[in-house]
Structure 1
Amino acid sequence: MKKNIAIIMGGYSSEHHISIKSGNVVHKYLDTNKYNAYRIIITKENWYYLDNTDERHTLDKSDFSITIDGKKILFDCVFNAIHGTPGEDGLMQAYFELLGIPQTSCNHYEAALTFNKRDLLSALKPYGIPSATSFFVNKGQTIDENAIVEKVGLPCFVKANRAGSSYGVSKVHKKEDLNQAIANAFKEDHQIIIESFLDGTEVSVGVITYNKKVTVLPATEIISENDFFDFEAKYMGKSQEITPARISEKQEKNVRQLAEFIYTTLGLKGYTRSEFIFIGDVPHLLEINTTPGLTEESLLPQQAKTAGISLESLFDSAIVEALR
């Protein structure tokens, strides 16, 4: 008997439209012989099922069900394709945990931890995970530009603490530009993190659970045509994404070991994509994404393809592992 799969997409953040693209790709490639796939759109105003004629059907939040032609449909599993809140920060995960519905991403605590860049780096610090020097600022606090520059130097990166797709991120070269960059970051989150510039090769490494095993995918080398890997570089073709990355055997070994160590140490599951910058042979962690992009052009699918894993197999494995 075919399983009913809810593919949740959209969300409340600036990444809403990117999530819709990811969710539609999952819907396209799920095996229709095994699954009845339903596109569930999550917005602040409404949660609804969008059928193949683009008609909307209201979703019952009390048990996460839909009713079509008088028939109530419950879901065997939820495929999480929401980037940002509430799908990547633990809110949806906690909701499904309370309802007892399996879902494909990591559990609620791990999602909340990894979505919070400051907390993630703090949690990993005792394990000696290399990262940039950082300075934390909350909205309403006095901005001490001299203290910031003294600690992290210039250039530096100003980032929204809880956001993705490079929203709220600026590279700052001059001290007098700090306030504008901070104001830009505060549009996305009331917490920000300011980090020292790491001058080295940037790579992205996917780690998934596949056929019951933690599997590290081939690394992707990121070369941005812009000053850094910003939104335009990520989504508007202003970058080169080279898989597998052109790195030495030692660098590859180091980053694969570190990515797997972080995945297992934090108790992650499902898909993750971690970003690193090499200083010499040492990979420095930037961040972890627990619901990474899933379009044909996205980094994780690129890496899976290089590893010989099709989109059909990649998406199927997430559901199999969640149901396991």
Structure 2
Amino acid sequence: MKKNIAVVYGGDSSEYVVSVMSSKNVLQAVDPDLFQPWAVEMKGKDWKLVVDGEPVAAIDKQDFSVQYQGEKLHFDYAYITIHGTPGEDGILQGYFDLMKIPYSTCGVQSSALTFNKYYCSNYLRNFGITMAKSVRLTRGDGINVDQLVADLGLPVFVKPNVGGSSFGITKVKLKENLKAAIEKAWEESPEALVEEFIDGLELTGGLVKMQHEEFIFPITEVLPKNEFFDFESKYTKGATLEITPARISEELTQRCQQLSSRIYDLCNCRGIVRVDYILKGNTLYFLEVNTTPGMTATSFIPQQIEAMDMELKDIITKIIQDQIC
């Protein structure tokens, strides 16, 4: 009998719409010859089974099952495609751990660490990993604009400390715009990061490690047409030039992949993870770890897998089989 695979999407952040797109791509990539894929939407306390785009039944949260067509359907595995809370910060992972249901992403501690940009950066800084200077401001803190500019210079990036997909991010060039940018970031997260601007080439690379094999994907070079890689650049076709493999030397490529592998291990990651960098000169500046990276048609991970002459279906099959077969 085929194992029931729940492709879980939705969530409670601004990234809901991205999650919906990612889930469709993943659902198509779950091999129906090996598994029975199901779409499960989560939004707040409303968890439901979705068939052909329509909700058909509520999920029983006591055991992560559902009554469907007169039978009780139990899910054997959860492929999490929620970007943001609760699927990327460890909350949902804790639930699945309690239910003893295997899932596709990092565990609770790893997810919580990597989701908090400030904590993750300061943890990795202890291991000699290079990154931009940053200041964390909690919602309601006083904003000393002059001190921030003295410490970090201009321009700076202001971003939510938790979250992704470039919601609430601003590149600030003028001191008088800094306060408004911080307040904008606070709309997305209780904490904002003001980060030193590193002028360089943006690179990103995915990888996955399993019990008996690993895949470190090619590096992608990111050239947004906008001021920076914002939400529009990420999810609007043609808004960014994305080149895979990146047009960098073989030595730099290997160094970037090796650094991603080291960060993966240091953060105790699991499943597909993407690590972002800025390359300035010959130095790689770490940006962040994405533990439920976008899987939409325009996302980096599917592009990188294709550049390896593999299909997303191949990798997803291996990830699921690594835990339940």
Question: Match of 2:294?
Answer: 293
Question: Match of 1:108?
Answer: 108
Pick which of 203-212 and 8-17 moved more.
203-212
Distance 1:299 1:65 in 2: 32
TM superposition shift of 1:161 = 0.4
Distance 1:135 1:252 in 2: 30
Distance 1:140 1:214 in 2: 44
Counterpart residue identity of residue 92, structure 2: M
TM superposition shift of 1:11 = 0.6
1:217 match: secondary structure: strand
TM superposition shift of 1:317 = 1.8
Question: Match of 1:134?
Answer: 134
Pick which of 279-288 and 205-214 moved more.
205-214
Pick which of 269-278 and 211-220 moved more.
211-220
Mapped contact 1:250–1:281 kept (Cα < 8 A): no
TM superposition shift of 1:250 = 2.4
TM superposition shift of 1:3 = 0.4
Name stretches of at least 5 consecutive residues in structure 1 with no aligned partner: none
TM superposition shift of 1:322 = 3.1
Question: Match of 1:80?
Answer: 80
Mapped contact 1:254–1:281 kept (Cα < 8 A): no
1:163 match: secondary structure: coil
Number of equivalences? 324
Distance 2:233 2:132 in 1: 22
Q: Does 1:266 align with 2:299?
A: no
1:101 match: secondary structure: coil
Mapped contact 2:38–2:51 kept (Cα < 8 A): yes
TM superposition shift of 1:281 = 1.4
Q: Say what the alpha-carbon RMSD is for the aligned residues.
A: 1.2
| Fraction of identical pairs, as percent | 38
Pick which of 50-59 and 272-281 moved more.
50-59
Q: Does 1:256 align with 2:257?
A: yes
2:317 match: secondary structure: helix
Pick which of 203-212 and 244-253 moved more.
203-212
CA offsets 1:61-104 (integer angstroms, 9 cap, x no match) = 11111011221111111011111100000001010001100000
TM superposition shift of 1:29 = 2.1
5 Å-filtered alignment, 1:1-324, equals 1-52=1-52, 54-209=54-209, 212-236=212-236, 237-323=238-324
TM superposition shift of 1:53 = 5.9
Counterpart residue identity of residue 271, structure 1: I
TM superposition shift of 1:294 = 1.0
Name stretches of at least 5 consecutive residues in structure 2 with no aligned partner: none
TM-score by length of 2: 0.97
2:63 match: secondary structure: coil
Mapped contact 2:114–2:267 kept (Cα < 8 A): no
Distance 1:266 1:210 in 2: 15
Mapped contact 1:79–1:103 kept (Cα < 8 A): yes
Distance 1:259 1:38 in 2: 32
Distance 1:178 1:37 in 2: 46
